[in-house]
Amino acid sequence: MFRNIYLGIIMMVKYMEEFRMPLIGEKFPEMEVETTRGSIKLPDFYAGKWFVLFSHPADFTPVCTTEFVAFQKRYEEFQKLNCELIGLSVDQTFSHLKWEEWIKEKLGIEVKFPIIADPAGKISARLGMLHKQAAGTKTVRAVFIIDSKAIIRAILYYPMELGRNMDEILRMIRALQIAEKGYAMPANWPNNELIGDGVIVPPANNWSMIEKRMEQVKAGEIKCFDWWFCYKKL
């Protein structure tokens, strides 16, 4: 009996791990999605690249239209960071295609990145994009930033009535890529009120590192407000 209970608990834990929303620091879950550019396997399709997966409530809506125009206008900037874009909503593929066509004809903007069609809402539910605000029928404005190793580095949520700031998403990618070198980024980087465009050096956690930090200060390699708050220019 105890063995059956134990096995039941194990199966329940595995089920919860498989179907709960992925978290920052975890690998993006494997899935096959239908898009305006055909069937795509994620995250393998973007192997070796960063990518931003973002959801929007619905096609042919004003705020979402402004967002797609804004994303497309910055698409080359994302690509310069080795980063791709992929959208998602619970609309069907033909709706995405017609909306893309409308944006091109009426606004002169050609959307060049794929959009996932998720009419059943399974992908949206898997990624935690269906919130109470939309009564579970539309996706909120979620953003997943995934790095070149398919690890989720950031997750953002915006309410349906608030369009995203694409420059902030670009800033986050730039900052996260620099952070891979072992630094942390201050508030409002690269325009921080204390250290400007400097980056924060990992704080010392023992006396040996404190001494090393002081030597680095003397050598002009870093600057410190104190041994636990040091920074440098890149």
Residue 103 falls within a domain, yes or no?
Answer: yes
Q: What is the pLDDT of residue 8?
A: 43
Residue 230 and residue 223 in contact, taking contact as beta carbons nearer than 8 Å: yes
Q: What is the pLDDT of residue 12?
A: 38
Q: Find the CATH number of the domain harbouring 35.
A: 3.40.30.10
Say whether pLDDT at 173 is over 80: yes
Least confident of 13-22, 143-152, 209-218: 13-22
User: Of 64, 83, 224, 230, which residue is the catalytic one?
Assistant: 64
Same domain, 111 and 200: no
Residue 153 falls within a domain, yes or no?
Answer: yes
* The domain boundary residue, chosen from 164, 192, 222: 164
Same domain, 60 and 122: yes
As a whole number, mean pLDDT of residues 152-171 equals 96
Report the chain's mean pLDDT, rounded to a whole number: 91
Same domain, 36 and 113: yes
pLDDT tens profile 4-14: 544 444 443 34
The band of 20, judged by pLDDT with boundaries at 50, 70 and 90, is confident
Residue 140 falls within a domain, yes or no?
Answer: yes
pLDDT tens profile 199-219: 999 999 999 999 999 999 999
* The domain boundary residue, chosen from 164, 190, 223: 164
Task: List the one residue out of 74, 73, 57 whose CA is nearest residue 142.
Answer: 57
Q: How far is CA 199 from CA 112, 153, 188, in A?
A: 34, 18, 11
Same domain, 193 and 137: no
Number of structural domains the chain divides into: 2
**What is the CB neighbour count within 10 angstroms for residue 150?**
20
Q: Measured on CA atoms in the order 138, 142, 147, 148, is the torsion positive or negative? A: positive
Q: Which domain holds residue 129?
A: 21-164
Side chain identity, residue 131: H
Query: What stretch of H or E contains 116?
Result: strand 115-117
Side chain identity, residue 213: R
What is d(CA 214, CA 231) in angstroms, rounded to the nearest whole number? 12
Residue 1 falls within a domain, yes or no?
Answer: no
230 is catalytic: no
DSSP assignment string, 178-203: HHTTT-B--TTTTSBTTTBT-EEEPP
Residue 68 and residue 111 in contact, taking contact as beta carbons nearer than 8 Å: yes
* The domain boundary residue, chosen from 107, 139, 164: 164
Same domain, 152 and 211: no
Same domain, 27 and 89: yes
